[in-house]
Amino acid sequence: KQEVTQIPAALSVPEGENLVLNCSFTDSAIYNLQWFRQDPGKGLTSLLLIQSSQREQTSGRLNASLDKSSGRSTLYIAASQPGDSATYLCAVNTGTASKLTFGTGTRLQVTL
């Protein structure tokens, strides 16, 4: 059974810092991995999708890497801003139906 772990569970950083969120998964047979953002009372917003054949994806200040063989992914956020404050979730897709297995998330707070 696929298990997804995210470390740290919570993180507080001052504005402007670069930071790394970690995600690990137990079964390397994945189709892809997604990083989502969840704001309180709102749904999930997809940030980045990395296919199993890819090593990384970038979008603006966000960069996600994938090391499938070791079962790890990182989300790098450059020059953090207060608006980045949210819970970040990683999810792995291990089936053609895109049924996702989620981690429990990292709650990020960026302070002024």
Residues near another protein (CB under 8 A): 4, 31-32, 34, 36, 41-46, 49, 51, 89, 91, 93, 95-105
Under 8 Å between Cβ of 26 and 71: yes
Under 8 Å between Cβ of 56 and 65: yes
Cα 76 to its chain centre, rounded Å, is 9
Which CB atom, from 21 or from 80, has the smaller least distance to another protein? Answer: 21
Smallest separation, CB 79 to another protein (Å): 26
Smallest separation, CB 83 to another protein (Å): 19
Which CB atom, from 98 or from 111, has the smaller least distance to another protein? Answer: 98
Angle at CA of residue 4, ends 73 and 46, nearest 5°? 60
Smallest separation, CB 112 to another protein (Å): 27
Task: Using DSSP, state whether 15 is helix, strand or coil.
Answer: coil
